[in-house]
Amino acid sequence: MHAHIQQRIQGIINNLDQLPSIPDVASKVLTMVNDPDISFKAIAEEISKDQAITTNILKLCNSAYFSKGKEISSIDRAIVTLGIKEVKDIVIVAATREVLNKIIVGYDLARGELWKHGIAVAVLSKKIAIMKNKKAVADIAFTGGIIHDVGKTVLALFVQNTFREILELTQARQIPFAQAEKEIMGFDHQEIGEKILSKWKFPEVLKAIVRHHHEPEKSPAEFLPIVSIVHIANTLCLMAGIGIGADGLYHELSDTAIKTLGLSNRELEELYRDMPQILDQATAIL
């Protein structure tokens, strides 16, 4: 373990200013959506206050993935046509793009690769949720998919200098990459991601997804199914090479996740087989 690296990372975590920011509207909408006393009109007004993001949201509403065919030209219409959960997901896409759509040096991800990966995991997570009769949380699985790797945006700088050591430790001790990250740097990208979500004031379920997507068995029991969904979607996207970085497939495919969702070998292979289709759907959002 490199104490000085751990201290530098700790310094970044302690100083919230050094962690990435997203527009306030994201956390406001996440909170408002879960408050039964708040009207759709109030949510639409809140979103519309941010002009730049509203433009992006409307573009996304009319994209091949979200569109229901009818042209949408206002947030009000979007909520009526697509539903509040869908609009919430679109707000998160628009709000997080800037943070995630960039070069992630230490993990060797070219510009746009982490973003594409997050969107593909989001689309696939939603599909798995619906397939496994968890439609009620499909939107949360989608949001979690987008941001599950956000910690990499901060940790990349340190991974760049320790990559060889992390990989050697992975091989010498037969431990997954994230665990080796923690042993070498004192933190892994999941923990950093959770801190970032705290700064963004995101709810516990999303924090659990970000914190445990490589090890669903460590998730609080109430969030195990949804963390398992994102874990499986992440695995399938990496296997298909979508947003695969220097950490490669040095990850564990969790048996707990497979059992929790009751996925058969056949279902897993079918989901993998449909990856080109998932990628097409994701591309419509990029």
Partner 1 sequence: MNTLINVGVSQMGASSSPSVLRTILGSCVGICIYDRMKKIGGMAHILLPNNPGDGVAEKYADSAIPLLVNRLLKDGAKKEFLSAKLAGGASMFKFNASVTLGQIGERNVEESKKILEKNGIPVLEEDTGGNMGRVIDFFLEDGRLKVKAGGQEKLYYKV
Nearest 5°: the CA angle 88, 92, 97 is 155
Contact region with partner 1 (CB under 8 A), list: 18-26, 187-195, 217-225, 253-261: 253-261
Identify the residue among 79, 104, 279, 285 touching partner 1 (CB under 8 A): 279
Contact region with partner 1 (CB under 8 A), list: 68-76, 122-130, 140-148, 174-182: 174-182
Least separation in angstroms between residue 254's CB and partner 1 is 9
Least separation in angstroms between residue 17's CB and partner 1 is 31
Nearest to 198 by CA among 2, 13, 25: 13
**What per-residue string of b and e applies to 189-219 under the rule 16 or more CB within 10 Å gives b?**
bbbbbbbbbebbebeebbbbbbbbbbbbbeb
Binding flag, residue 250, partner 1 (CB under 8 A): yes
Binding flag, residue 157, partner 1 (CB under 8 A): no
Least separation in angstroms between residue 109's CB and partner 1 is 10
Query: Side chain identity at 279, as an amino acid letter?
Result: L
Least separation in angstroms between residue 196's CB and partner 1 is 24
How many Å apart are CA 15 and CA 11, to the nearest integer? 6
167 or 286: whose CB is closer to partner 1? 167
Least separation in angstroms between residue 162's CB and partner 1 is 11
Identify the residue among 163, 187, 200, 223 touching partner 1 (CB under 8 A): 163
Where do we find the tokens 């220097």?
246
How many Å apart are CA 191 and CA 264, to the nearest integer? 30
Can you tell me whether residue 104 is helix, strand or coil? strand
Chain-centroid distance of CA 93 in Å reads 10
Nearest to 210 by CA among 226, 194, 232: 194
Binding flag, residue 170, partner 1 (CB under 8 A): yes
Give the DSSP H/E element, type plus range, for residue 47: helix 40-48
Binding flag, residue 255, partner 1 (CB under 8 A): yes
Contact region with partner 1 (CB under 8 A), list: 9-17, 65-73, 77-85, 237-245: 237-245
Least separation in angstroms between residue 86's CB and partner 1 is 26
82 or 242: whose CB is closer to partner 1? 242
Nearest to 159 by CA among 105, 210, 112: 105
**Main-chain phi, psi angles of 127, to 5 degrees:** -65, -45
* Cβ-Cβ contacts under 8 Å for 1 (sequence gap 6 or more): 183, 184, 185, 186
Using CB under 8 A as the binding criterion, the count of chain residues that bind partner 1 stands at 34
Least separation in angstroms between residue 23's CB and partner 1 is 31
Binding flag, residue 219, partner 1 (CB under 8 A): no
Q: Which residues bind partner 1 (CB under 8 A)?
A: 108, 163-164, 167, 170, 174, 176-177, 235, 238-242, 244-253, 255, 258, 265, 268-269, 272-273, 275-276, 279
